[in-house]
């Protein structure tokens, strides 16, 4: 069964403590009715103080004023200090701790000290009123200092909580900005892919028109290429529109966006044929890269091919940045009948890079966005044996085999 931990929007422990204080003040007031000066009138004063203390956290200044006024009535009636006057100390502590301005706490402390002197005169101690005044003054000062110390700690904790909340909001804003920037980049690259496909269609259509009478078979082949390229361009356009229409970025569960490798994105269309040059650049930067290809290399659509290239670039960038120079990384490309798997594993046994590496995107954020465009999966995390592993699985389109001519 779930325990209710709040009463009237306040923590249960705070409510329980306040009720205990109220009960003690009322109890001392009832004792005053029987054995102390003032009788039932003093009991009524104690009840008034107790009821006021119920609101000491929400309205500390008002409560201190009410308790102080009741205490003044007690002094005027010459009842002398009574046990339920502990409510005065509780109200003083509350106004010092909870008041918006410390000035209110200072005024409350001066008022309590001012009341301690006439209260000392009403104590029967053989005429040594000054001794009672010193004791009451020291007690009041000690309570005030305790309240000030607790107030300082409370404000410090609140400032830490506010700073943590601000940092969390900034982190979320940076993550959203990184996702938005990566989506803009993905959209631009997909636009280039579609433009490339349109150029191929125009060239093939012009060729088919001129070869229609001279070589009908070549014309039919060109028309077939136009049809295949058009279907592929339409699919890439659908993905492009999906990226641009996304109302809000998905939740990013990874850490802060990693810096990547490579400066501003190149406007030319990247292909897997350029992977050797990319790996050579990482080797030149100090990362020992080994490549393994399993399965028959499938002909991928241009957009998917670009995604594989960018995933490799980002994964190796993170390996160089976090594992360091001299680390060993293994790149594995697995071509299956239904999907292509990219796996990058580093041993984490390098040293920090002397110079910053160029960026290729936004690390895990960018990879997650790119993989999501093609309905793929991304798994990244530390390895028990040390280092880091990134594994991306991208499903192949059902008509991947019809794009051989296009990718050539």
Residue 12 clears pLDDT 80, i.e. is over it: no
Lowest mean pLDDT among 59-63, 158-162, 256-260, 344-348: 256-260
Residue 261 near residue 359, CB atoms below 8 Å? yes
> pLDDT at position 234, please?
67
> pLDDT at position 330, please?
92
Q: Which two tokens stand for residue 247?
A: 């109302």
What's the chain's average pLDDT?
75
> pLDDT at position 345, please?
92
The residue that leads in pLDDT, 116 or 395, is 395
Q: What is the mean pLDDT of residues 31-43?
A: 69
> pLDDT at position 15, please?
73
Residue 391 clears pLDDT 90, i.e. is over it: yes
Residue 358 near residue 263, CB atoms below 8 Å? yes
Lowest mean pLDDT among 17-26, 137-146, 326-335: 17-26
The residue that leads in pLDDT, 178 or 159, is 159
Q: Which two tokens stand for residue 310?
A: 């960018």
Residue 325 has what DSSP assignment?
A: B
Lowest mean pLDDT among 68-82, 161-175, 292-306, 349-363: 349-363
> pLDDT at position 235, please?
67
Separation of alpha carbons 31 and 36, rounded Å:
7
CA distances 328 to 1, 203, 324, 353, 356, Å, are 53, 45, 9, 14, 18
Q: What is the mean pLDDT of residues 344-357?
A: 71
> pLDDT at position 400, please?
44
> pLDDT at position 298, please?
63
Residue 165 clears pLDDT 60, i.e. is over it: yes
Separation of alpha carbons 246 and 240, rounded Å:
10
Residue 183 clears pLDDT 90, i.e. is over it: no
Separation of alpha carbons 168 and 178, rounded Å:
15
Lowest mean pLDDT among 112-116, 197-201, 334-338: 197-201
Q: What is the mean pLDDT of residues 122-139?
A: 73
Residue 90 near residue 145, CB atoms below 8 Å? no
Lowest mean pLDDT among 124-138, 272-286, 382-396: 124-138
> pLDDT at position 342, please?
92
345 CB burial (10 A radius; 0-12, 13-18, 19+)? buried
**pTM for the whole structure:** 0.46
Q: What is the mean pLDDT of residues 351-378?
A: 69
401 CB burial (10 A radius; 0-12, 13-18, 19+)? exposed
Q: What is the mean pLDDT of residues 46-64?
A: 84
408 CB burial (10 A radius; 0-12, 13-18, 19+)? exposed
Residue 243's pLDDT band (cuts 50, 70, 90): low
The residue that leads in pLDDT, 260 or 40, is 40
H or E element in which residue 228 lies: helix 216-245
> pLDDT at position 191, please?
65
Q: What is the mean pLDDT of residues 365-394?
A: 85
The residue that leads in pLDDT, 199 or 337, is 337
Residue 327 clears pLDDT 80, i.e. is over it: yes
> pLDDT at position 82, please?
75
Residue 295 near residue 335, CB atoms below 8 Å? yes
Q: Which two tokens stand for residue 271?
A: 């292909």
Residue 302's pLDDT band (cuts 50, 70, 90): confident
The residue that leads in pLDDT, 397 or 91, is 91
Q: Which two tokens stand for residue 325?
A: 């120079």
Separation of alpha carbons 396 and 22, rounded Å:
72
Q: What is the mean pLDDT of residues 182-198?
A: 67
Separation of alpha carbons 261 and 366, rounded Å:
12
Separation of alpha carbons 300 and 87, rounded Å:
80
Q: What is the mean pLDDT of residues 213-229?
A: 75
Separation of alpha carbons 224 and 208, rounded Å:
10
Residue 260 clears pLDDT 50, i.e. is over it: no
Which domains, from first to last, does the chain contain? 6-123 (no CATH), 177-245 (1.20.5), 272-407 (3.30.565.10)
């Amino acid at each position: 069964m779930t325990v209710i931990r709040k009463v009237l929007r306040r923590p249960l422990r705070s409510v329980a403590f306040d009720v205990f204080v109220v009960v003690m003040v009322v109890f001392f007031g009832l004792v005053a009715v029987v054995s102390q000066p003032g009788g039932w009138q003093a009991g009524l004063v104690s009840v008034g103080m107790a009821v006021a203390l119920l609101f000491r956290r929400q309205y500390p200044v008002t409560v201190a004023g009410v308790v102080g006024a009741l205490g003044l009535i007690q002094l005027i009636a010459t009842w002398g200090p009574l046990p339920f006057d502990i409510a005065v100390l509780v109200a003083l502590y509350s106004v010092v701790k909870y008041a918006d301005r410390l000035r209110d706490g200072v005024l409350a402390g001066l008022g309590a000290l001012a009341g301690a002197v006439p209260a000392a005169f009403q104590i029967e101690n053989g005429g040594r009123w000054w001794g009672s005044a010193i004791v009451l003054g020291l007690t009041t000062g000690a309570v005030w200092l305790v309240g000030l110390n607790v107030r300082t700690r409370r404000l410090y904790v609140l400032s830490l909580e506010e700073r943590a909340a601000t940092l969390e909001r900034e982190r979320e804003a940076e993550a959203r900005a990184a996702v938005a920037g990566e989506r803009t980049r993905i959209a631009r690259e997909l636009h280039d892919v579609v433009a490339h496909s349109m150029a191929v269609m125009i060239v093939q259509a012009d060729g088919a028109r001129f070869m229609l009478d001279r070589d009908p078979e070549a014309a039919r082949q060109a028309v077939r290429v136009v049809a295949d390229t058009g279907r592929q361009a339409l699919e890439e356009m659908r993905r492009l529109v999906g990226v641009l229409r996304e109302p809000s970025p998905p939740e990013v569960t990874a850490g802060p966006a990693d810096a990547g490798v490579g400066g501003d994105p190149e406007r030319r269309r990247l292909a897997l044929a350029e992977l050797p040059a990319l790996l050579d650049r990482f080797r030149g930067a100090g990362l020992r890269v080994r490549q393994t290809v399993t399965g028959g290399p499938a002909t991928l659509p241009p957009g998917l091919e670009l995604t594989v290239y960018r995933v490799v670039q980002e994964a190796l960038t993170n390996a160089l940045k976090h594992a360091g120079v001299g680390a060993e990384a293994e790149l594995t490309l697995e071509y299956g009948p239904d999907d292509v798997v990219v796996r990058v594993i580093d041993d984490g046994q390098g040293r920090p890079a002397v110079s910053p590496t160029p960026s290729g995107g936004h690390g895990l954020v960018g990879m997650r966005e790119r993989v999501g465009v093609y309905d793929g999966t991304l798994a990244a995390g530390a390895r028990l044996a040390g280092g880091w592993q990134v594994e991306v699985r991208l499903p192949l389109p059902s008509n991947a085999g019809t794009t051989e001519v296009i990718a050539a």
